[in-house]
Amino acid sequence: MAIPGHHISPQGRSSFRVFAPKAQAVKVLLVGADGSADRVLPLRSEGVGYWVGECERLPHGCLYWLELDGQRLPDPASRYQPHGVHGPSMVADVIKVDSPAWRGVAMADAILYELHLGTFTPEGTLAGAQGRLGHLKALGVNVVELLPIAAFAGERNWGYDGTFLYALHQAYGGYAELKAFIEAAHSLGIAVILDVVYNHFGPEGNYSGALAPYTKAADTPWGAAINFDIAWNHGVREYFLENLRFWLQTVGFDGVRMDAVSLIFDNSPLHILREFTDLARAIGQAEGREVLTIAEHLRNNRYVTSDQGFNYHSQWNDDLNHAVYARLTGETTRHYQNFGAFDDVVKALTSGFVYDGTRFDRYYGWYVGTDGRLTTAPEHVVHIQNHDQVGNRLHGDRMISSYGRDKALLAITTIMASPFVPLLWMGEEYGETAPFYFFEDFSEQVIIDGCREGRKSDFAFGGAEPPDPHARQTFVDSKLQWQRTDEPQGREFFAYYQQLISLKRSGALGPRDMKAVTLVADPATQVITLQTARTFTVLNFSAQPQAFVAPAAYANPVLCSVGRYVSGQVAPFGAVVLAARV
Contact 276, 293 (CB under 8 A): yes
How far, in Å, CA of 18 to CA of 233, rounded? 14
Residue 184: per-residue pLDDT: 98
pLDDT digits (tens, 9 = 90+) for 176-186: 999 999 999 99
Residue 7: per-residue pLDDT: 95
Q: How big is the chain by its Cα radius of gyration, in Å?
A: 25
How far, in Å, CA of 410 to CA of 528, rounded? 11
Mean pLDDT of 295-316: 97
**Which burial class, exposed, middle or buried, applies to 471 when counting CB atoms under 10 A from its CB (0-12, 13-18, 19+)?**
middle
Q: Which residues of 64-85 are buried (b: 16+ CB within 10 A; e: fewer)?
A: bbbbbeeeebbbbbbbbbbebb
Of the candidates 83, 71, 100, 76, which has an alpha carbon nearest to the alpha carbon of residue 16?
76
Please tell me what DSSP assigns to residue 379: G
Report the half-sphere exposure of 562 (CA within 13 A, side-chain side): 23
Share of the chain above pLDDT 70, in %: 99
Helix, coil or strand: residue 368: strand
How far, in Å, CA of 465 to CA of 42, rounded? 53
| Dihedral sign computed on CA atoms, order 190, 119, 114, 285 | negative
Of the candidates 576, 449, 572, 498, which has an alpha carbon nearest to the alpha carbon of residue 140?
498
How far, in Å, CA of 376 to CA of 397, rounded? 32
How sure is the predictor about 510, in pLDDT bands with cuts at 50, 70 and 90? very high
**Residue 461 above 70 pLDDT?**
no
The contacts of residue 129 (CB under 8 Å, 6+ apart) are 115, 117, 120, 121, 181
How far, in Å, CA of 107 to CA of 248, rounded? 16
pLDDT digits (tens, 9 = 90+) for 533-557: 999 999 999 999 999 999 999 999 9
Mean pLDDT of 236-240: 98
Give phi and psi for 282, each to the nearest 5.
Answer: -65, -40
pLDDT digits (tens, 9 = 90+) for 45-104: 999 999 999 999 999 999 999 999 999 999 999 999 999 999 999 999 999 999 999 999
DSSP string, 505-517: HHTSSS-S-GGG-
**Residue 463 above 80 pLDDT?**
no
Q: Where are the beta strands (DSSP E) in 134-252?
A: 143-146, 150-151, 164-168, 191-196, 215-220, 223-226
Mean pLDDT of 341-363: 95
How far, in Å, CA of 574 to CA of 290, rounded? 37
pLDDT digits (tens, 9 = 90+) for 418-447: 999 999 999 999 999 999 999 999 999 999
Share of the chain above pLDDT 90, in %: 93
- Check if 296 is active-site: yes
Q: Which of the residues 161, 254, 296, 428 is marked catalytic?
A: 296
Residue 462: per-residue pLDDT: 60
| The model scores a pTM over 0.95 | yes
Contact 305, 313 (CB under 8 A): yes
Contact 233, 269 (CB under 8 A): no
Q: Which is more confident, 555 or 406? A: 406
pLDDT digits (tens, 9 = 90+) for 25-57: 999 999 987 777 789 999 999 999 999 999 999
Q: Where are the beta strands (DSSP E) in 303-378?
A: 314-316, 356-361, 366-369
Amino acid letter at 160? Y
Q: Which of the residues 75, 114, 254, 259 is marked catalytic?
A: 259
Instruction: Name the packing angle between helices 233-245 and 272-287 (round to 10°).
Output: 30
Tell me the domains of the chain and their CATH numbers: 5-90 (2.60.40.10), 111-505 (3.20.20.80), 517-580 (2.60.40.1180)
Of the candidates 343, 326, 342, which has an alpha carbon nearest to the alpha carbon of residue 334?
326
Contact 422, 111 (CB under 8 A): yes
Residue 464: per-residue pLDDT: 77
How far, in Å, CA of 74 to CA of 170, rounded? 15
Helix (H) or strand (E) holding 489: helix 488-506
CA 55, chain centre distance (Å): 38
Strand partners, 424: 113
Helix (H) or strand (E) holding 475: helix 472-476
- Averaged confidence pLDDT in the chain: 96
- Check if 492 is active-site: no
pLDDT digits (tens, 9 = 90+) for 476-505: 999 999 999 999 999 999 999 999 999 999
